[in-house]
Amino acid sequence: MPNCLCPLKNAARDAPNLIAILGKGFSLTFSELDQAADTYRAELQRIGLAAGHRIVTYHPTDWRLIAFFFAVWRLGASICPLNLRLPPLQISDSLSRLSPALYLTDLSLPFQPLRPIPSSSFSSLFLFTSGTTGIPKIAVHSLNSLLTNASSAVSGLDLQPNDQWLLSLPLFHVGGIGILLRCILARATLVLDERSPQITHLSYVPSQLYRAWPTYRNLRCLLLGGAPIHAFPSCLPLYATYGLTEMGSIVTVGRKPNSMHPLSGREIKIAEDGEILVRGPCLFQGYWEQDRIHLPIDEQGWFATKDIGRFCPKEGFAILGRKDWQFISGGENIQPEEIELELLRLPEIIDAAVIALPDAEFGQRPAAVIQTRFSNYTLHQMQSALKPRLPKFKIPIALFIFDEIPKNGLKTDRKKIFELVTRELLN
């Protein structure tokens, strides 16, 4: 990537002394971050890396990893940051699928000399999806698609120079990369220390909001997405969002969960069966499958998200849940997220998930898995509380209490939950 196209290089030229990164006890200006990226780029070239190479990292989010992202992009190579929670066998499988030229777990200099594995994928980012319903897919983005998403989000979310956005999402997640690029484009500060009192922008999933109420005096924007939203306090500058890895992060934004509109550069529509379709310049290049990129779109360029939604001309878009998770009980369609929203409204419940259990009469019936403040919370209490809120066929017929709801990254891991519930039933 030529220097004139690098967003960090442009920020260092236009605002060299503004703070790019604010950490615990340190800060880096845009000029200093730019110099760090150049140093990493020179080191990668020294050991034989070049344009088209794939580089995998397994490294915590810090200023070094941020600088390394831009070094890789300046080289014309692609980066794939791995989830830090992956066990050794899954790391091995990920490396086998990616065949990287370089795998780094330590960004300390100098790097060990090597003979890079040949590769030729002229992309910028490889990201594993959450894989909650099967084997995680590998989404491939160009830097241009990521910057297109970030650029329109900067204007749509009123991000200004010297604003501070807490990097509350990891850099192996598209949401974290979105925060990074928005801050670089806006000349805003990327905050690594949640204790900073000057934070203006936050990105949360609902469970983060329910557990830790933000108290930042200068907070102007709190993005909330990634899961059903049951509480939307008017005293906070909340914005409901819908996004996906395949579109480079945010697609729609609104002041209410059922009243969202697409940011510029995104198109969205609802298919006849309720599935959400998207397209636009921030759409990814495709999925990495057997050393090739495959883009699953229709003849008009629409990508099927497997999410279910609705559109109201007056209000806008609302997201109802995942098509994959919908099940039929006695001839009735059930969307688990609808039941989860009602469960999360109950004061006794901290977190919740709904799964389908086999049933001889109805085919499938809903079961609730919850994290609660009360160890003696009962199925009868839950069902009584839900009766005024849900039709009878949507009220869970079983209750399982977990110390914590399993997550895959930021999302509920329904596959893991079903495995744990099945094991409990067998015992």
Please check whether residues 17 and 136 belong to one and the same domain.
Answer: yes
Residue ending a domain, choose from 291, 317, 343:
317
- In this structure, the answer to whether residues 49 and 130 fall within a common structural domain is yes
Residue 210 has pLDDT above 70, yes or no: no
Mean pLDDT of 160-169: 95
Share of the chain above pLDDT 70, in %: 94
Q: Please state the rounded mean pLDDT for residues 11-30.
A: 96
Q: What is the pLDDT of residue 407?
A: 80
Buried/exposed code over 48-68 (b: 16+ C-beta within 10 A; e: otherwise)? ebeebbbbbbbbebebbbbbb
Q: Hey, which of 88-92, 144-148, 326-330, 420-424 has the most confident mean pLDDT?
A: 144-148
Could you tell me the residue range of the domain that residue 90 belongs to?
3-317
Asked if 34 and 63 touch (Cβ cutoff 8 Å), the reply is: no
pLDDT band for position 131 (cuts 50, 70, 90): low
Q: Quick one: 121 and 269 in the same domain?
A: yes
Compare 322 and 297 and report the one with higher pLDDT: 297
Instruction: Tell whether 407 and 279 lie within a shared domain.
Output: no
Are residue 301 and residue 357 in the same domain, yes or no? no
Residue 1 is predicted with a pLDDT of 60
At 402, is the pLDDT very low, low, confident or very high (cuts 50, 70, 90)?
Answer: very high
pLDDT band of residue 373 (cuts 50, 70, 90) is confident
| CATH code: domain of residue 340 | 3.30.300.30
User: Is residue 262's pLDDT more than 80?
Assistant: yes
* Average confidence (pLDDT) over 147-176: 94
Structural domains in the chain (count): 2
Q: Does 392 or 2 have the greater pLDDT score?
A: 392
Residues 400 and 373 in one domain: yes
**231 band by pLDDT with thresholds 50, 70 and 90:** low
Query: What global pTM score does this model have?
Result: 0.85
pLDDT confidence tier of residue 423, bands split at 50, 70 and 90 = confident
Which of 285, 317, 349 lies at the terminal end of a domain, its last residue?
317
Domain boundary among 317, 342, 370: 317
Name the residue among 210, 213, 202, 209 with its Cα closest to residue 178.
202
On whether both 260 and 334 belong to a single domain, the answer is no
Give me the pLDDT at residue 330, please.
82
Percent of the chain with pLDDT over 90: 62
> Is the distance from CB of 66 to CB of 132 less than 8 angstroms?
no
Question: CATH number, domain at 43?
Answer: 3.40.50.12780
Note whether 152 and 267 are same-domain residues: yes
Asked if pLDDT for residue 230 goes beyond 70, the answer is no
Indicate if 200 and 107 belong to the same structural domain.
Answer: yes
Q: Are residues 42 and 171 in the same domain?
A: yes
Are both 16 and 127 inside the same structural domain? yes
Between residues 133 and 339, the one the model is more confident about = 339
SS (H, E, C) the chain: CCHHHCHHHHHHHHCCCCEEEECCCCEEEHHHHHHHHHHHHHHHHHCCCCCCCEEEECCCCCHHHHHHHHHHHHHCCEEEECCCCCCHHHHHHHHHHHCCCEEECCCCCCCCCCCCCCCCCCCCEEEECCCCCCCCCEEEECHHHHHHHHHHHHHHCCCCCCCEEECCCCCCCHHHHHHHHHHHHHCCEEECCCCCCCCCEEEECHHHHHHCCCCCCCCCEEEECCCCCCCCCCCCCEEEEEEEHHHCEEEEEEEECCEEEECCCCEEEECCCCEEEEECCCCCCEEEECCEEECCECCCCCEEEEEEEEEECCCEEEEEEEHHHCEEECCEEECHHHHHHHHHCCCCEEEEEEEEEEECCCEEEEEEEEEECCCCCCHHHHHHHHCCCCCHHHCCCCEEECCCCCEECCEECHHHHHHHHHHHHHC
> In terms of domains, do 19 and 142 share one?
yes
Average pLDDT, rounded, for the chain: 89
Higher-pLDDT residue of 351, 64: 64
Banded pLDDT at 140 (limits 50, 70, 90): very high
